[in-house]
Copies of this chain bind each other. A is one copy, B any other.
Amino acid sequence: MSKVLVIEDDAAILRGLADNLKFEGYEVLTAVEGETGYKLQKAQKPDLIILDLMLPRMSGLELCQKLRGEGVQTPILMLTARSEESDRVIGLDLGADDYVTKPFSIRELMARVRALLRRIHSTAELPGQLRFGDVEVDFRRYIARRCGKLVEMTRKEFATLRLLVARAGEVVTRDELLNEVWGFESYPISRTVDNHIAGLRAKLERDPARPVHIRTVHGVGYKFVQS
């Protein structure tokens, strides 16, 4: 699940943001002033930064510029007060990717957060398509074919396969699968992962009992091999 860093000096707002973000399932890091925020960014590499324009000491403006100057590409969502400066200067010069003016509606903010995160996830995409054996998978269309024939796959199955494929050749542990596919919040206790693996094999392997591509590594986890 994505990691979000919030840098905001107003405790009430910070708290509200953090709560809401956690509720939506994000991992949240917080800082009340620029310096700490800067260090957190360095240390934790969040996927998104929410940054107040007005901060004590180092302003959000400076921080943003500093980060961009260092080549940090992490999307930044700026919080600005309406009176705070001509909007367009902010947007154009700073390198923020989006901004919201206070007071903001939390729903709007969350929508923008999702949109920004979606943008990075979709651009830094692994190949949307994949072939192995007599199988073709298209992750963007959510379609899989086996010997040209359509195979229905579920959301979790796609997500599982995607992770395995992203790390093709490497072993992925059940724990890693649980973290990535299921997220931290819900944590199925049982052999759920195994079940989904079984599902995948049943749908994609020529002989599910003797899998070629989705391999078991006994005592460790699973591994995808393309050929």
Contact = CB atoms under 8 A, between A and B. Distances in A.
A220 B155 contact: yes
Interface in A89-108: 89-99, 102-108
Contacts of A91: 102-105
Contacts of A218: 154-155
A187 interface: yes
Chain A interface size, as a band, is 35 or more
A142 B88 contact: no
Contacts of A154: 218-219
Contact of A111 (B90, B155, B175): B175
17 contacts: A13-B88, A16-B92, A88-B103, A90-B103, A91-B102, A91-B105, A92-B103, A94-B105, A95-B107, A97-B105, A97-B107, A111-B123, A115-B175, A115-B184, A118-B176, A140-B170, A155-B219
Interface of A: 10, 12-13, 16, 82, 87-99, 102-108, 111-112, 114-115, 118, 123, 140-142, 154-156, 169-171, 175-176, 178-179, 184-185, 187, 189, 217-220, 223
With most chain B CB atoms within 10 A of its CB, the pick from A88, A99, A189 is: A88
Given A105-B91, A107-B187, A155-B218, A175 B98 contact: no
Contacts of A185: 108
Given A91-B105, A94-B105, A111-B184, 9 more contacts: A82-B87, A91-B103, A92-B105, A92-B106, A95-B105, A105-B187, A114-B179, A141-B171, A154-B218
